[in-house]
Amino acid sequence: MAKRKLIYQIYPTAIGSLRDIADKIPLIAKLQPDYIWLSPIFLSPWVDGGYDVSDYCKIDPRFGNMKDFYHLVDVAKKHNIGILLDLVLNHTSSEHPWFKKSEQHDPWYKDYYVWLDKPLNWDSFFGGPAFDYDPIRGKYYLHLYDRSQPDLNFSNPRVVREFKQVIKFWTDRGVAGFRVDSANVLAEDALKSGILPRVSGFFNYYQTKETVAILEKLLSSPKIFTIAEPIGGEFLSHLRFRELTRKAFDAAFNVGTLDVADTFFSIKDHFYPINYRKWLHTLAKWSQEEKFSLAIESHDTPRAPSRFNAEPKTLAMLQFLLPSNYPCIYQGQEIGTRNAKLSNNIEDYPGVQSRMIYRRLRKEGKTKAQAMKQVKLSSRDNARQPIDWGEYVMQESDDNSVLNFYRRLTELWRQDPVLINGSLKIKKISRKGLFEFERRYKEETYYVHLDLSGRTKSYCKNSRGEIIVTNR
Ligand code: NOJ
C-alpha cells in the first residue's frame, strides 16, 4: 500500500513571518498533518508572489532569517511535522544574478536560460507571448509564466548542478522534502523535437528520458519526501507524467481537482455557476489514483466554499471520505474561510494572475465593472489574505465548528479501515451537486450522501445504518 500523508499548505504572507508560522504550529498540529508545505520563502521581488526567486539559499527578509527557519523546523519536528519547501525549478526571477549574467553573455552563465534568435509562437500562462526580446543579450528568452520569470535551461548540466546544491543546502538545514513547482514543463523538449505547440501542447508531450533522468538524479532519495506539481488539468498526461517520474517523486499534487475547466489560470476556469457534475466526476476519478493528492483549494484558487457555493463541512466530507492517500488542506480551509472582500480597483491587486484576467476581459469588451466583478470571484488573491486567528480560536471551543469537524475527519482519515482501504463505487452524481458513493472494505460498506447544494443533509453511514459523520 502507498504511503499515506496528510499535507497542510501555508502561503506564508497570509500568516506572517517564520516566527509567526512557528507560533501557529501547535494549533495546526491538531489536524495531525505529516508535512507542512510552505509556498516559497526565498528572496524574491514578489512579482508572482514568491514564485519568482532571486536567491534560492536566502530567506526573504519579510519572513525573517535562517535562525527563524531553524526555529520553525524545530517546532514542527516537536509536533512530528516535516517542513516541505517549494522548489521553483522551471524559472527564476529576472532579478536573479544567473539571469543578469546570462543576459550579458557571461561564458559560464550564457546557457542557463532558453535563448533563441527567433521567437516561437507559444503563449505564456499569464497571457501574451512566451518569448520576449532581451535588448542586452540581443536574443529572445522563454518565459512560460510572466516576462519577469525566465525559464531555466534544464539541458544544461550546470543548471542541474546548481539545484543539486540548493537541495543539499536545505536538506542540511532540516527540511523534510520539497514540492516541485511546474514539474512537468521543466525541459523544453518541444524545442528539440521542432514541434511548436501553443500552451495546451505543453502538457501533452512526453518528457524525454533525459529530463526524467535529471529529475531522478536531483530528487530521488529515500530521505526526502517529494511531491511534484504537474500543471494543467489533463488527466492522461498527468498519469503519464506520474508514471515516468515514479522514481523521482513520491506523489503528485493534483491541480486536476482544482481546475474545473481543465485549464490552468484560465478565466474560463472560474465561470459560474460551476459545473458540479464535471467537477465531482473529476474528483472521483483522481481520488482513485493512489499517488496523487486530493485538494479542493490552494494558493492558486479562490476559496472553495465561495467558488463552489457549498457548505465547508460538506466540502470537508468530500475531500476526506473519498479515497485519498495525500489529501492537502490549504491554510484557513479548516475554518471554512470564504473569499475575501477584494478591492474594486485592479491597481490594488498584487498578483499577476488577477491582472491577466482583468486585461483579457477588457480585451473581450467587458466594462470595467463587469471585469472587476469577475476578477473578485476568480482571483487567487482571495486565498492569500491573512488568516482570521480570532475566528480560529473561537472555533476551537465550539464543538460544532468547522474546525472541530475537520479535526474529526482527519482523525477518521488516519484511523478508519474502510476509509483507508475501501474501494470506491459511485452511485450518483447530479448536476445540482448531489453525490452518492460507497466505500467498501471486507464485510463493511459505508454509504455516503453528499449534497453540495445544502438542500439535504450530508452524511456517511455504515451498513448497520449508524452515522459515521454528518454535517448537521
Ligand atoms: C504554479 C504555482 O502554483 C503558481 O502559484 C505560480 O504562479 C506558477 N507555478 C509559477 O511558478
- What is the CA(429)–ligand 1 centre distance, in A? 31
Domains of the chain and CATH, by start:
7-92+157-422 (3.20.20.80)
Which strand (E) or helix (H) includes residue 423?
strand 423-429
Instruction: Give the atom of ligand 1 at the shortest distance from the alpha carbon of 91.
Output: 11
What's the rounded Cα separation, in Å, for the pair 178 and 227? 6
Instruction: Give the atom of ligand 1 at the shortest distance from the alpha carbon of 380.
Output: 5
The helix/strand/coil state of 131 is strand
The contacts of residue 226 (CB under 8 Å, 6+ apart) are 177, 178, 179, 180, 219, 220, 248, 249, 250, 251
Cell, residue 360: 483579457
- What is the CA(214)–ligand 1 centre distance, in A? 21
- What is the CA(224)–ligand 1 centre distance, in A? 22
The reported pLDDT for the residue numbered 2 is 55
- What is the CA(302)–ligand 1 centre distance, in A? 14
- What is the CA(51)–ligand 1 centre distance, in A? 6
pTM, two decimal places: 0.95
Using a 10 angstrom Cβ sphere, with 0-12 exposed, 13-18 middle and 19 or more buried, the burial of residue 9 is: buried
Pairing of strands 35-38, 42-43: unpaired
Q: The cell 497542510 sits on which residue?
A: 8
For ligand 1, atom 5: residue with the closest CA = 300
The reported pLDDT for the residue numbered 317 is 98
| Separate counts of helices (H) and strands (E) for the chain | 15, 18
146, amino acid identity: D
What's the rounded Cα separation, in Å, for the pair 156 and 191? 14
Pairing of strands 225-228, 326-330: unpaired
Among 10, 182, 255, say which to mutate for ligand 1: greatest number of ligand atoms within 8 Å of CB. 182
Cell, residue 350: 498584487
Cell, residue 368: 470595467
Half-sphere exposure of 41 (CA within 13 A, CB side): 29
Q: What is residue 330's DSSP assignment?
A: E
Cell, residue 412: 477518521
Instruction: Give the atom of ligand 1 at the shortest distance from the alpha carbon of 231.
Output: 1
pLDDT along the chain (472 residues), means of 10: 87 98 98 98 97 98 98 98 97 98 98 92 82 97 94 92 96 97 79 53 53 86 91 75 88 80 48 75 90 93 90 98 96 97 93 86 92 88 96 98 98 98 97 96 98 96 98 96
Site residues for ligand 1, CB cut-off 6 Å: 48, 51, 88, 145, 181-182, 299-300
- What is the CA(125)–ligand 1 centre distance, in A? 10
Question: How many Å from the N-terminal Cα to the C-terminal Cα in the chain?
Answer: 34
CB 87 within 8 A of CB 41: no
